[in-house]
Chain A
Protein backbone atom coordinates (compact mmCIF):
# COMPACT_ATOMS: atom_id res chain seq x y z
CA UNK A 1 0.00 0.00 0.00
CA UNK A 2 0.90 3.67 -0.13
CA UNK A 3 1.64 3.94 3.57
CA UNK A 4 1.70 2.07 6.86
CA UNK A 5 -1.83 1.25 7.92
CA UNK A 6 -2.82 0.60 11.53
CA UNK A 7 -6.11 -0.57 12.96
CA UNK A 8 -8.08 0.18 14.94
CA UNK A 9 -7.37 3.91 15.20
CA UNK A 10 -8.87 4.01 18.67
CA UNK A 11 -9.41 1.26 21.22
CA UNK A 12 -11.00 1.50 24.64
CA UNK A 13 -10.44 -1.53 26.84
CA UNK A 14 -11.57 -2.32 30.34
CA UNK A 15 -8.77 -3.16 32.74
CA UNK A 16 -7.97 -6.85 32.45
CA UNK A 17 -9.13 -7.23 28.83
CA UNK A 18 -6.88 -8.49 26.06
CA UNK A 19 -6.34 -6.34 22.97
CA UNK A 20 -4.83 -6.91 19.53
CA UNK A 21 -3.45 -4.09 17.41
CA UNK A 22 -2.79 -4.60 13.72
CA UNK A 23 -0.13 -3.13 11.43
CA UNK A 24 -0.01 -3.36 7.63
CA UNK A 25 3.45 -2.17 6.55
CA UNK A 26 4.35 -0.76 3.17
CA UNK A 27 4.41 -3.61 0.68
CA UNK A 28 7.83 -5.20 0.38
CA UNK A 29 9.28 -3.52 3.46
CA UNK A 30 11.62 -5.91 5.22
CA UNK A 31 11.81 -4.20 8.59
CA UNK A 32 8.91 -3.55 10.94
CA UNK A 33 9.00 -1.77 14.28
CA UNK A 34 6.58 -1.12 17.12
CA UNK A 35 6.91 1.94 19.33
CA UNK A 36 4.88 3.14 22.31
CA UNK A 37 4.18 6.86 22.69
CA UNK A 38 2.87 8.10 26.04
CA UNK A 39 1.03 11.40 26.14
CA UNK A 40 3.44 14.31 25.66
CA UNK A 41 6.45 12.07 25.15
CA UNK A 42 8.57 10.80 22.29
CA UNK A 43 8.06 7.30 20.91
CA UNK A 44 9.83 4.48 22.77
CA UNK A 45 11.05 1.31 21.06
CA UNK A 46 9.17 -1.91 21.77
CA UNK A 47 10.23 -4.50 19.22
CA UNK A 48 11.76 -5.11 15.76
CA UNK A 49 11.09 -7.66 13.03
CA UNK A 50 13.14 -8.44 9.96
CA UNK A 51 10.76 -10.33 7.72
CA UNK A 52 9.08 -12.85 10.04
CA UNK A 53 11.93 -12.99 12.54
CA UNK A 54 11.59 -11.00 15.75
CA UNK A 55 15.18 -9.87 16.22
CA UNK A 56 14.72 -7.61 19.22
CA UNK A 57 11.96 -7.51 21.82
CA UNK A 58 13.97 -5.77 24.51
CA UNK A 59 11.55 -2.83 24.73
CA UNK A 60 8.43 -4.82 25.55
CA UNK A 61 7.45 -3.64 29.06
CA UNK A 62 6.33 -7.00 30.40
CA UNK A 63 5.42 -10.53 29.40
CA UNK A 64 1.86 -9.31 28.89
CA UNK A 65 3.06 -7.80 25.60
CA UNK A 66 3.52 -10.08 22.61
CA UNK A 67 4.15 -9.29 18.94
CA UNK A 68 4.17 -11.47 15.86
CA UNK A 69 4.65 -11.20 12.12
CA UNK A 70 4.09 -14.79 10.94
CA UNK A 71 4.32 -14.27 7.17
CA UNK A 72 6.70 -11.36 7.12
CA UNK A 73 4.10 -8.75 6.24
CA UNK A 74 1.20 -7.92 8.62
CA UNK A 75 2.11 -7.69 12.29
CA UNK A 76 -0.02 -7.87 15.42
CA UNK A 77 0.83 -6.46 18.83
CA UNK A 78 -1.12 -8.19 21.57
CA UNK A 79 -1.49 -6.96 25.11
CA UNK A 80 -2.95 -9.34 27.67
CA UNK A 81 -4.72 -8.32 30.88
CA UNK A 82 -4.47 -4.61 30.05
CA UNK A 83 -3.63 -2.15 32.82
CA UNK A 84 -4.07 1.61 33.05
CA UNK A 85 -0.38 2.23 32.47
CA UNK A 86 -0.73 0.58 29.05
CA UNK A 87 -2.74 3.59 27.84
CA UNK A 88 -0.70 5.16 25.04
CA UNK A 89 -0.47 5.49 21.28
CA UNK A 90 1.08 2.42 19.69
CA UNK A 91 2.97 3.27 16.52
CA UNK A 92 4.07 0.87 13.83
CA UNK A 93 6.82 1.76 11.35
CA UNK A 94 8.39 -0.02 8.41
CA UNK A 95 11.56 0.34 6.37
CA UNK A 96 12.83 -1.14 3.14
CA UNK A 97 16.28 -1.59 4.60
CA UNK A 98 17.66 -3.99 7.14
CA UNK A 99 18.54 -1.07 9.35
CA UNK A 100 16.16 1.58 10.57
CA UNK A 101 17.19 4.34 8.18
CA UNK A 102 14.17 6.28 7.05
CA UNK A 103 11.32 4.68 8.95
CA UNK A 104 7.79 5.40 7.73
CA UNK A 105 5.33 5.50 10.62
CA UNK A 106 1.64 4.73 10.61
CA UNK A 107 -0.91 6.97 12.31
CA UNK A 108 -0.98 4.77 15.38
CA UNK A 109 -3.59 3.15 17.57
CA UNK A 110 -4.63 5.13 20.63
CA UNK A 111 -5.31 2.66 23.43
CA UNK A 112 -7.21 3.84 26.49
CA UNK A 113 -7.57 1.43 29.39
CA UNK A 114 -10.41 2.30 31.77
Chain B
Protein backbone atom coordinates (compact mmCIF):
# COMPACT_ATOMS: atom_id res chain seq x y z
CA UNK B 1 0.00 0.00 0.00
CA UNK B 2 0.85 3.68 -0.10
CA UNK B 3 3.43 5.12 2.28
CA UNK B 4 4.01 8.87 2.70
CA UNK B 5 7.12 10.31 4.34
CA UNK B 6 7.29 13.96 5.39
CA UNK B 7 10.26 16.15 6.33
CA UNK B 8 11.20 18.01 8.39
CA UNK B 9 9.22 17.18 11.52
CA UNK B 10 9.80 20.68 12.90
CA UNK B 11 10.71 23.90 11.12
CA UNK B 12 11.40 27.33 12.56
CA UNK B 13 11.66 30.38 10.30
CA UNK B 14 11.85 34.10 10.83
CA UNK B 15 8.77 36.09 9.91
CA UNK B 16 8.99 37.07 6.25
CA UNK B 17 11.21 34.15 5.28
CA UNK B 18 10.09 31.18 3.18
CA UNK B 19 9.27 27.70 4.45
CA UNK B 20 9.49 24.46 2.48
CA UNK B 21 8.05 21.10 3.51
CA UNK B 22 8.78 17.97 1.49
CA UNK B 23 6.93 14.68 1.08
CA UNK B 24 7.62 11.47 -0.79
CA UNK B 25 5.15 8.75 -1.70
CA UNK B 26 5.55 5.16 -2.78
CA UNK B 27 2.50 4.24 -4.87
CA UNK B 28 2.77 5.38 -8.48
CA UNK B 29 -1.04 5.08 -8.73
CA UNK B 30 -1.47 8.07 -6.41
CA UNK B 31 -2.83 11.01 -8.35
CA UNK B 32 -4.19 13.50 -5.83
CA UNK B 33 -2.07 15.30 -3.23
CA UNK B 34 -3.75 17.61 -0.70
CA UNK B 35 -2.04 19.66 2.00
CA UNK B 36 -3.72 20.35 5.32
CA UNK B 37 -3.02 22.87 8.07
CA UNK B 38 -3.95 21.90 11.60
CA UNK B 39 -4.06 24.42 14.42
CA UNK B 40 -4.13 23.41 18.06
CA UNK B 41 -7.42 21.86 19.04
CA UNK B 42 -8.85 22.03 15.54
CA UNK B 43 -9.36 19.63 12.69
CA UNK B 44 -7.14 19.69 9.59
CA UNK B 45 -8.04 22.39 7.07
CA UNK B 46 -7.37 21.96 3.35
CA UNK B 47 -5.06 24.74 2.15
CA UNK B 48 -4.05 23.59 -1.33
CA UNK B 49 -4.09 20.47 -3.47
CA UNK B 50 -2.57 19.24 -6.71
CA UNK B 51 -3.35 16.51 -9.19
CA UNK B 52 -0.81 14.36 -10.97
CA UNK B 53 -1.42 15.99 -14.36
CA UNK B 54 -0.11 19.31 -13.01
CA UNK B 55 3.46 20.12 -11.98
CA UNK B 56 2.85 23.23 -9.92
CA UNK B 57 -0.03 25.15 -8.40
CA UNK B 58 -0.01 28.48 -6.61
CA UNK B 59 -2.48 30.30 -4.39
CA UNK B 60 -1.24 33.64 -3.09
CA UNK B 61 1.66 32.91 -0.69
CA UNK B 62 1.28 29.13 -0.95
CA UNK B 63 2.52 26.90 -3.76
CA UNK B 64 2.82 23.16 -4.26
CA UNK B 65 5.11 21.36 -6.69
CA UNK B 66 4.91 17.75 -7.82
CA UNK B 67 7.57 15.55 -9.38
CA UNK B 68 5.84 12.34 -10.49
CA UNK B 69 9.03 10.69 -11.68
CA UNK B 70 10.73 11.08 -8.33
CA UNK B 71 7.46 10.60 -6.43
CA UNK B 72 7.84 13.70 -4.32
CA UNK B 73 5.88 16.86 -3.73
CA UNK B 74 6.57 19.99 -1.73
CA UNK B 75 4.74 22.85 -0.04
CA UNK B 76 6.24 26.33 -0.29
CA UNK B 77 5.07 29.20 1.90
CA UNK B 78 6.53 32.62 1.10
CA UNK B 79 6.56 35.75 3.26
CA UNK B 80 5.65 33.74 6.34
CA UNK B 81 3.53 35.33 9.04
CA UNK B 82 2.98 34.37 12.70
CA UNK B 83 -0.48 33.04 11.82
CA UNK B 84 1.15 30.47 9.55
CA UNK B 85 2.40 28.69 12.69
CA UNK B 86 0.65 25.31 12.81
CA UNK B 87 1.17 21.64 11.95
CA UNK B 88 1.10 20.89 8.23
CA UNK B 89 0.24 17.47 6.78
CA UNK B 90 0.73 16.22 3.26
CA UNK B 91 -1.35 13.34 1.94
CA UNK B 92 -1.55 11.12 -1.12
CA UNK B 93 -4.58 9.43 -2.61
CA UNK B 94 -4.63 6.74 -5.33
CA UNK B 95 -7.64 8.32 -6.99
CA UNK B 96 -10.07 6.90 -4.49
CA UNK B 97 -11.63 8.16 -1.29
CA UNK B 98 -8.76 7.19 1.00
CA UNK B 99 -5.96 9.55 1.99
CA UNK B 100 -2.60 8.41 3.34
CA UNK B 101 -1.15 11.18 5.50
CA UNK B 102 2.42 12.06 6.34
CA UNK B 103 3.50 12.43 9.95
CA UNK B 104 3.28 16.22 9.97
CA UNK B 105 5.58 19.24 10.16
CA UNK B 106 5.32 21.67 13.05
CA UNK B 107 6.04 25.12 11.61
CA UNK B 108 6.97 27.96 13.93
CA UNK B 109 7.18 31.46 12.53
CA UNK B 110 9.26 33.65 14.83
CA UNK B 111 8.27 37.30 15.04
Contacts and interface: CB of A to CB of B under 8 A. Distances in A.
Interface residues of A, number: 26
A42 B2 CA distance: 14
B46 A100 contact: no
B104 A41 contact: yes
A56 B104 contact: no
Interface stretch (B13-21, B62-70, B77-85, B91-99): B91-99
B103 interface: yes
B44 A91 contact: yes
Contacts, number: 61
Nearest to A89: B43
A82 to B, nearest CB: 22
Interface size class of B (residues with CB under 8 A): 20 to 34
B46 A42 contact: no
B43 A100 contact: no
B44 A99 contact: no
A102 interface: yes
Contact of B32 (A33, A101, A104, A106): A101
Contacts of A66: none
27 contacts: A31-B97, A40-B103, A41-B104, A42-B4, A42-B6, A42-B91, A42-B101, A42-B104, A43-B44, A43-B99, A45-B98, A48-B98, A91-B44, A93-B43, A98-B97, A99-B95, A100-B32, A100-B96, A100-B99, A101-B32, A101-B49, A102-B34, A102-B46, A104-B46, A105-B36, A105-B44, A106-B43
